[in-house]
């Protein structure tokens, strides 16, 4: 039997549906509840260094989620011109964000969750559409930059091959 551990704040919040699922299924799990005062010491530092950078990361991550939702429209669009326009609006947005930051990262001067979210969505979509970002040189450079970070590179080299 697998050991499950659910880690979340000491509130119901977004974790409550998972707790209810475990209860309904009769599955035992460790309910690891974090006190708010303990969170800063545990929190990964990849969400930006300032409140502004954190907000910018949130926008980028949400934009990648919007792209994932819109991708169904792109995939099903029979008109190639419309398809290209749908694709371009997201990639241009990411390219513009990179252009406004001289570090080569989406936000601030180092890798953030925003960079990882954009990298991930590029990887998923360029597998099926290799030329997808060919007109966005900064995105191509960013993709290579993220993939060459030693810990990311090691993970990618050992990641199981899956469809998505």
Q: What is the pLDDT of residues 144-160, one digit of tens each?
A: 999 999 999 999 999 99
Q: For the segment 43-60, what is each residue's pLDDT rounded down to a tens digit?
A: 778 989 999 999 999 999
pTM exceeds 0.95 for this model: no
Average the pLDDT over 112-132 and give the result: 90
Averaged over 131-147, what is the pLDDT?
93
In order of start, what are the domains of the chain with their CATH numbers? 5-42 (3.40.30.10), 51-156 (1.20.1050.10)
User: What SS3 class is residue 91?
Assistant: helix
Q: How confident is the model at residue 162 (pLDDT cuts 50, 70, 90)?
A: confident
* Helix axis angle, 150-158 to 137-147, nearest 10°: 80
Q: Long-range contacts for 101-110 (Cβ within 8 Å, ≥24 apart)?
A: 104/138, 104/141, 104/142, 104/145, 105/142, 105/145, 106/56, 106/57, 106/60, 106/142, 107/48, 107/53, 107/56, 107/57, 107/60, 108/48, 108/49, 108/50, 108/53
Q: Given this model, what pLDDT does residue 113 score?
A: 95
Structure confidence by residue, pLDDT tens digits, 57-72:
999 999 999 988 888 7
């Amino acid at each position: 039997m697998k050991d499950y551990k659910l880690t979340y704040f000491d509130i119901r919040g977004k974790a409550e549906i998972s707790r209810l699922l475990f209860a309904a299924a009769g599955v035992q799990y460790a309910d690891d509840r974090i006190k708010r005062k303990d969170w800063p010491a545990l929190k990964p530092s990849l969400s930006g260094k300032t409140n502004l950078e954190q907000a910018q990361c949130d926008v980028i991550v949400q934009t990648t989620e919007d792209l994932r939702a819109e991708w169904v429209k792109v995939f099903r669009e029979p008109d190639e011109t419309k398809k290209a326009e749908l694709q371009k609006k997201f990639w241009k947005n990411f390219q513009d964000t990179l252009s406004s930051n001289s570090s080569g990262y989406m936000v601030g001067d180092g890798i953030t969750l925003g960079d990882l979210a954009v990298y991930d969505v590029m990887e998923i979509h360029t597998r099926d559409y290799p030329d997808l970002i060919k007109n966005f040189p900064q995105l191509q450079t960013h993709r290579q930059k993220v993939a060459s970070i030693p810990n990311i590179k090691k993970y990618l080299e050992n990641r199981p091959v899956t469809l998505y």
